[in-house]
Amino acid sequence: MADATTRFFKDLDRRGYDPLLAKSSGTLRIDLHEGPQTTHWLVRIDRGEIQVSQQDMEADAVIGATPALFEGLVTGRENGLAALLRGDMTLTGDARLVVQMERIFPGPQHAQGPRRYQKGVR
């Protein structure tokens, strides 16, 4: 298991509450597949209150990825939507929960905010 992934989930569990998820509730299971072995992370969100465990149980949404790809997500080197569109990551269930959860993932390492359209600049 990638250390960055383990740190991400432990930090998320210690956080306990995240205002970015204040309007979110549900369960998200992340299945990290490496050969015949699958590691599970279950994130429960109740109006911003977060609990993380390694239970393999039913969830409102399930993400499937390799440990390497998920490490890229939690370090900001990968984009979740791009990985889904490429077919490198799978999603079943409530996609809205995944979109809401994406708010707490780090952005690209050198990002300086959203690009804005400026009249006359291309």
Which comes out higher in pLDDT, residue 83 or 117? Answer: 83
> What per-residue confidence (pLDDT) applies to 112?
53
Does residue 100 lie in a domain region? yes
DSSP 17: B
Does residue 115 lie in a domain region? no
> What per-residue confidence (pLDDT) applies to 118?
40
Does residue 116 lie in a domain region? no
Please tell me whether the overall predicted TM-score, pTM, comes out greater than 0.95 for this model: no
> What per-residue confidence (pLDDT) applies to 92?
97
Q: What is the C-alpha to C-alpha distance for residues 7 and 62, in angstroms, rounded to an integer?
A: 20
- CATH number of the domain residue 75 falls in: 3.30.1050.10
Does residue 54 lie in a domain region? yes
Does residue 114 lie in a domain region? no
Residue 109 predicted with pLDDT over 70: no
DSSP 119: T
Split at pLDDT 50, 70, 90, the class of 115 is: very low
Does residue 112 lie in a domain region? no
Q: What is the C-alpha to C-alpha distance for residues 2 and 62, in angstroms, rounded to an integer?
A: 19
In this predicted model, what pLDDT tens digit does every residue of 46-93 receive, in sequence order?
999 999 999 999 999 999 999 999 999 999 899 888 999 999 999 999
Q: Domain total for the chain?
A: 1
In this predicted model, what pLDDT tens digit does every residue of 8-33 receive, in sequence order?
999 999 999 999 999 999 999 999 99
| 10 Cβ neighbours under 8 A, 6+ residues apart | 52
Tell me which residue of 99, 33, 91, 22 sits closest to 62, measured CA to CA: 91
Does residue 30 lie in a domain region? yes
Split at pLDDT 50, 70, 90, the class of 110 is: low
Range of the domain at 14: 3-104
Does residue 117 lie in a domain region? no
